[in-house]
Amino acid sequence: MAKALYINHATLIVSNLEQARAFYEQELGLEPLPTFNLDFPAQFYRVNERQQLHISEWPDQPSFRGHICFQVDDFNAVFNRMSALGAIDVAPWGRVRRLPDGAMQMFVRDPSGNLLEISCHPSTQVDDAIFASDLVESAAGVYVSQRNDARGGRGERATLYHGDDDR
C-alpha dihedral (16, 21, 23, 24), degrees to nearest 10: 130
Task: Give the contacts of 159 (CB within 8 A, at least 6 positions apart).
Answer: 101, 103, 122
- State mean pLDDT over 84-89: 98
What's the CATH number for 61-144?
3.30.720.110
Asked if 107 and 89 count as a contact pair (C-beta separation under 8 A), the reply is yes
- Higher pLDDT: 150 or 13? It is 13
- Break the chain into its structural domains and give their ranges: 1-60, 61-144
- Higher pLDDT: 4 or 94? It is 94
The answer on pLDDT for 57 being more than 80 is yes
The answer on pLDDT for 123 being more than 90 is yes
pLDDT digits (tens, 9 = 90+) for 133-161: 999 999 999 999 999 888 888 888 888 88
Question: φ, ψ for residue 84 (rounded to 5)?
Answer: -65, -35
Question: φ, ψ for residue 75 (rounded to 5)?
Answer: -60, -40
Expressed in angstroms, the distance from the first to the final Cα of the chain is: 31
pLDDT digits (tens, 9 = 90+) for 93-108: 999 999 999 999 999 9
Share of the chain above pLDDT 70, in %: 97
Q: Could you please state the CATH topology (level 3) that the domain comprising 1-60 is classified under.
A: 2,3-Dihydroxybiphenyl 1,2-Dioxygenase; domain 1 (3.10.180)
pTM tops 0.85: yes
3-state secondary structure labels for all residues of 4-60: CCCCCEEEEEECCHHHHHHHHHHHCCCEEECCCCCCCCEEEEECCCCCEEEEEECCC
